[in-house]
Amino acid sequence: MCTTCGCGSEDAVVTGFEAVPEEGPGQAHHHHHHGEEAAPHVHADPTGRTIVLEQAILAKNDALADQNRSWFRDRGMLVINLMSSPGSGKTTLLERTIRDLAGEFPLAVVEGDQETLLDANRIRAAGARVVQINTGSGCHLDAGMVSRSLEVLAPEERSVLLIENVGNLVCPALFDLGERAKVVIMSVTEGHDKPLKYPQMFRAGELMVINKVDLVPYVNFDVEQCITYARQINPKLEVVTVSATRGDGLDGWYDWLRAQRL
């Protein structure tokens, strides 16, 4: 049970499409079994006990995230946490990225959804190694889930690992996964006021990707106003505007990824 948002993560399932090598990264990495991460059931308590439990859960997650970060660093990997609301186009952007950057560097994906293998199937068809994490009633990934997924994924050294978080504009921002950077993806169909409504998400991000710009003529969305709102929340936020389906602006996204690898 996550006391931050009230979701449950006890039933998270990791599904991989690739066999684990006999000597893979998972053997050198300290993975935590899911039973170790279950938190106590929490009831409302006027003494503030719920807040203490929330802090303890986040602290435990941060410790696991630091282990992940060390594991990634030892292998020279770049790890990016992609966050957004449902339907922003994360998976479409990943498919395009996998195909366009094929051969430039190894690329693997961790897919997060509450149910189904639909997105993992799309990523596999695009040509990347992938594991699917189904969180059940959980509304975000955590560091322990990512740690366990590495046993199945066994990503190559010097690879880029893209983590597609569960579609949610609140809780994913609070949980460190051990990533190099968080990227917020939003589409023009969502409204340009989203940074003001969900400030924690945009405060946590290093890059905002505004997707589906090919639809701007047909929706009430002001790109410049959205950027202004986002930088009121996070003045250092970088921004690229893209259409993952049509291809607009993707060079900016790819250049950003390349720069993170240096």
CA-CA distance, 250 to 151, in Å (whole number)? 31
Domain that includes residue 158, residue range: 13-23+46-261
Look at residue 32 and tell me if it is in a domain. no
Looking at the domain assignment, is residue 101 inside a domain?
A: yes
For the chain, give the percent of residues with pLDDT over 70: 81
93 is a domain residue:
yes
Euclidean distance between CA atoms 18 and 30, whole angstroms: 20
Mean pLDDT in residue range 181-202: 98
Do 250 and 100 touch, CB atoms closer than 8 A?
yes
Q: At what angle do helices 90-100 and 250-261 cross, to 10 degrees?
A: 70
Give which of 218, 141, 233 is closest to 187, Cα–Cα: 218
The beta-strand segments (E) located in the chain are 13-16, 78-83, 107-113, 129-134, 160-164, 181-187, 207-211, 238-241
CATH label of the domain that carries residue 237: 3.40.50.300
Length of the chain: 262
Confidence of residue 24 (pLDDT cuts 50, 70, 90): very low
- Whether 191 is covered by a domain: the verdict is yes
Task: Specify if 187 maps to a domain.
Answer: yes
Q: How far apart are CA 35 and CA 51, in angstroms?
A: 22
Q: Each residue of 108-167: pLDDT tens digit?
A: 999 999 999 999 999 999 999 999 999 998 999 999 999 999 999 999 999 999 999 999
Band of residue 195 on the pLDDT scale cut at 50, 70, 90: very high
pLDDT at residue 12 in the model: 78
Total number of domains in the chain = 1
Asked whether residue 164 is domain-assigned, the answer is: yes
Please write the tens of the pLDDT for every residue from 229-245. Answer: 999 999 999 999 999 99
Residue 64, domain member (yes or no): yes
Q: By mean pLDDT, which of 15-19, 40-44, 91-95, 196-200 is the weakest?
A: 40-44
CA atoms within 13 A on the CB side of 193: 2
Q: For residue range 40-57, what is the model confidence (pLDDT) as tens digits?
A: 333 344 444 555 656 777
31 domain-assigned: no
253 to 33, 42, 190, 230: CA distances (angstroms): 35, 42, 20, 18
- Give pLDDT, residue 260: 97
Q: According to the model, what pLDDT value does residue 250 have?
A: 98
